[in-house]
């Protein structure tokens, strides 16, 4: 196989930086399935890891990118055939195993998901980890008894990838969605995505008592910190909060009162190590009834392997909304 391009991240004297370089297949981590990459995406975790803003990558050098979709080039796993369209998200890809920012990716077959009918490789990566995480949130909510007739669901960090896709999917499934975003210019888009109401965090007027007036049936929280702490006392009887992110901090201040007096549940969401049977089920749902009708509108920009840093900066500077797609086959002139 000829050398191919990959974005490899290095650590030198405690400084982390990445660069696009020619790579041989033998330099990639082990695996029995070789994929020709069509698309990847840039998630918050990718931006943190590739720039060193967060301790995400567990070894160096490392090809970054926690998502990839493409077609099988070679397979020693009988479940996958040459030319088959597949995807990989999570499973350590781009964290402790060479990831998706590469024209060629090699992974264990146990990580590979066949792309279900109803999705292209491009659509699979517009969804990517963000869309899969949104689907996992809804699955966990409904698994724990959440229903549309309980009342509105709050989605925090709603202009980000997970939040925007969660807003769409919830709305399509007939949930009332209160979208919370600090980006005032995202209000119109969130309304288009199905939000019944859009507020800035300060407009929620959250109380500080251990148990407050019940106002919402549940939440999908991408922020953590004070916002999550303030939401919990306002969740109604037998409501659920899917805890996804920590854009606003990793600490949590709470009492047991909402849990023992209202039956409120905090549901942890970890898409990286989701069991494969559930992973496959959720991707099939994302290709069918949970496929966002306005999926293309969640795409804020498309970059190539040549200008990944532009996407990283946009996310870390909080200038981005929605999803950033990486076209692994295109090259900048």
In the chain, % of residues over pLDDT 90: 96
Same domain, 305 and 262: no
Q: Are 25 and 106 in contact (CB under 8 A)?
A: yes
Q: Domain of residue 237: give its range.
A: 130-268
Note the pLDDT of residue 321: 92
- Comparing 176 with 13, which gets the higher pLDDT? 176
Give the domain CATH number at 195.
Answer: 3.40.50.720
Whole-angstrom distance, CA of residue 272 vs CA of residue 69: 16
Is 79 domain-assigned?
yes
In the chain, % of residues over pLDDT 70: 100
Mean pLDDT of 240-251: 94
Is 277 domain-assigned?
no
Q: Are strands 197-199 and 216-221 parallel, antiparallel or unpaired?
A: unpaired
Same domain, 156 and 83: no
Mean pLDDT of 212-228: 98
Same domain, 134 and 257: yes
Q: What digits encode the pLDDT tens for the residues 82-136?
A: 999 999 999 999 999 999 999 999 999 999 999 999 999 999 999 999 999 999 9
Number of domains in the chain: 2
Whole-angstrom distance, CA of residue 20 vs CA of residue 11: 15
Calculate the alpha carbon distances from 114 to 13, 280, 291 in Å. Answer: 41, 8, 16
Domain-ending residue, one of 228, 252, 268: 268
Q: What is the DSSP string of 244-267?
A: ---TT-S-----SHHHHHH--EEE
Q: If you ran DSSP here, which 8-state letter would residue 103 be given?
A: S
Same domain, 175 and 261: yes
Is 80 domain-assigned?
yes
């Amino acid at each position: 196989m000829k050398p191919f391009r990959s974005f490899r991240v290095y650590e030198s004297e405690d400084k982390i930086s990445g660069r696009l370089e020619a790579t041989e297949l033998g330099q990639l981590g082990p695996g029995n399935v070789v994929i020709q990459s069509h698309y990847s995406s840039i998630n918050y975790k990718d931006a943190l890891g590739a720039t060193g803003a967060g301790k995400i990558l567990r070894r160096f050098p490392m090809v970054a990118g926690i998502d990839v979709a493409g077609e099988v080039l070679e397979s020693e796993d009988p479940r996958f055939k040459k030319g088959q369209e597949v995807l990989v998200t999570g499973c350590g890809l781009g964290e402790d195993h060479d990831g998706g920012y590469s024209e060629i990716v090699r992974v264990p077959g146990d990580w590979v998901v066949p792309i279900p009918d109803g999705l292209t490789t491009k659509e699979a990566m517009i969804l990517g980890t963000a869309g899969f995480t949104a689907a996992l949130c809804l699955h966990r909510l409904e698994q724990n008894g959440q229903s549309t007739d309980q009342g509105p669901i709050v989605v925090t960090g709603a202009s980000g990838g997970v939040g925007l896709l969660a807003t769409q999917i919830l709305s399509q499934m007939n949930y009332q969605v209160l979208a919370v975003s600090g980006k005032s210019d995202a209000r119109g888009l969130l309304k288009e995505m199905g939000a019944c109401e859009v507020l800035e965090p300060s407009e929620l007027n959250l109380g500080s008592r251990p148990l407050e007036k019940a106002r919402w049936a549940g939440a999908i929280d991408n922020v953590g910190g004070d916002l999550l702490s303030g939401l919990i006392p306002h969740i109604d009887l037998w409501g659920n909060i899917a805890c996804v992110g920590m854009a606003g901090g990793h600490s949590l201040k709470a009492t047991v009162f909402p849990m023992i007096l209202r039956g409120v549940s905090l549901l942890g969401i970890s898409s990286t190590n989701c069991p494969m049977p559930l992973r496959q089920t959720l991707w099939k749902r994302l290709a069918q009834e949970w496929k966002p009708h306005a999926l293309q509108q969640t795409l804020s920009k498309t970059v190539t392997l040549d200008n990944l840093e532009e996407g990283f900066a946009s996310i870390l500077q909080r200038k981005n909304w929605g999803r950033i797609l990486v076209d692994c086959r295109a090259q900048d002139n």
